[in-house]
């Protein structure tokens, strides 16, 4: 998985609780991405980062925030989880069309 | 607005057959068209990519065909094998943008 780890790999949480997912890379890539994957929707970009402290929104950013204080770490936070955020979350590194994905985090919001 | 439309949603092929997955796009500014392969429980992985200045690109049993005038591109898997069973995503990006737009995916099952 191109030197990308995600933690946790699985999480079950309750509606209304905050959740933070972590992506860690060892490739020193400038660009990092967070996607969610849902049946019938494919992969949708949530947020991405183009450097430390530099982030931008994707197509489904509502309800999510991100932070990048170090090159190697990109955090995705759900401030108050909802059932609609039950999904598999993938982190990716790379640039443009050539992206390398992590193993994913399966999040269930009950 | 779905920028990249992919079909079919699922596909079942016999071993040795040809698997064909199609994608269409609207934005003529797109200039890279990759395909990603995803096995169950894994993240997607780049399989093959094409630029619109060529009509076809082959890598082993995998071929991308590109029709610029029709704004369509397709993935052909020749001599399909059970190990090819996976979900395939087409995608598109444009120079100067660091973002990818994905199709919704095709689940391919190759029966032995």
Residue A44 above 70 pLDDT?
yes
Inter-chain contact B102–A90, Cβ cutoff 8 Å? no
Q: What is the pLDDT of residues B58-107, one digit of tens each?
A: 999 999 999 999 999 999 999 999 999 999 999 999 888 888 999 999 99
> Measured between CB atoms, which of B33, B42, B98 is closest to A48?
B98
Which residue from B minimizes the CA distance to A94?
B98
Which residue from B minimizes the CA distance to A92?
B43
Mean pLDDT of A22-31: 96
Name the pLDDT band for A2 (thresholds 50, 70, 90): low
Contacts of B95 in chain A (CB under 8 A): 96
Q: Are A76 and A20 in contact (CB under 8 A)?
A: yes
Contacts of A100 in chain B (CB under 8 A): 45-46
Inter-chain contact A103–B43, Cβ cutoff 8 Å? yes
Q: What is the pLDDT of residues B6-18, one digit of tens each?
A: 999 999 999 999 9
Mean pLDDT of A74-100: 95
Q: Are A70 and A24 in contact (CB under 8 A)?
A: no
Phi, psi of B43 (to 5 degrees): -80, 160
Please state, in angstroms and rounded to a whole number, the distance separating the CA atoms of residues A22 and A5: 8
């Amino acid at each position: 998985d191109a030197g990308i780890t995600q933690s946790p790999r699985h999480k079950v949480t309750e509606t209304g609780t905050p959740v933070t997912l972590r992506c860690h890379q060892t490739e020193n890539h400038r660009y990092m991405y967070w996607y969610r994957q849902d049946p019938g929707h494919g992969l949708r970009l949530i947020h991405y980062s183009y450097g430390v402290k530099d982030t931008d929104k994707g197509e489904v950013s509502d309800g999510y925030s991100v932070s990048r204080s170090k090159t190697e770490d990109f955090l995705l936070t759900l401030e108050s989880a909802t059932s609609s955020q039950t999904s598999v979350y993938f982190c990716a590194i790379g640039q443009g069309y050539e992206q390398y994905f992590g193993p994913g985090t399966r999040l269930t919001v009950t | 607005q779905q920028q990249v439309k992919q079909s079919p949603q699922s596909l079942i092929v016999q071993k040795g057959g040809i698997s064909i997955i199609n994608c269409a796009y609207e934005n003529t500014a797109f200039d890279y068209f990759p395909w990603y392969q995803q096995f169950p429980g894994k993240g997607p992985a780049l399989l093959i990519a094409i630029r619109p200045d060529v009509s076809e690109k082959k890598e082993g049993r995998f071929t991308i065909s590109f029709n610029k005038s029709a704004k369509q591109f397709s993935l052909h898997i020749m001599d399909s094998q059970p190990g090819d069973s996976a979900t395939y995503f087409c995608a598109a990006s444009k120079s100067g943008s660091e973002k990818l737009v994905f199709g919704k995916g095709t689940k391919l099952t190759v029966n032995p």
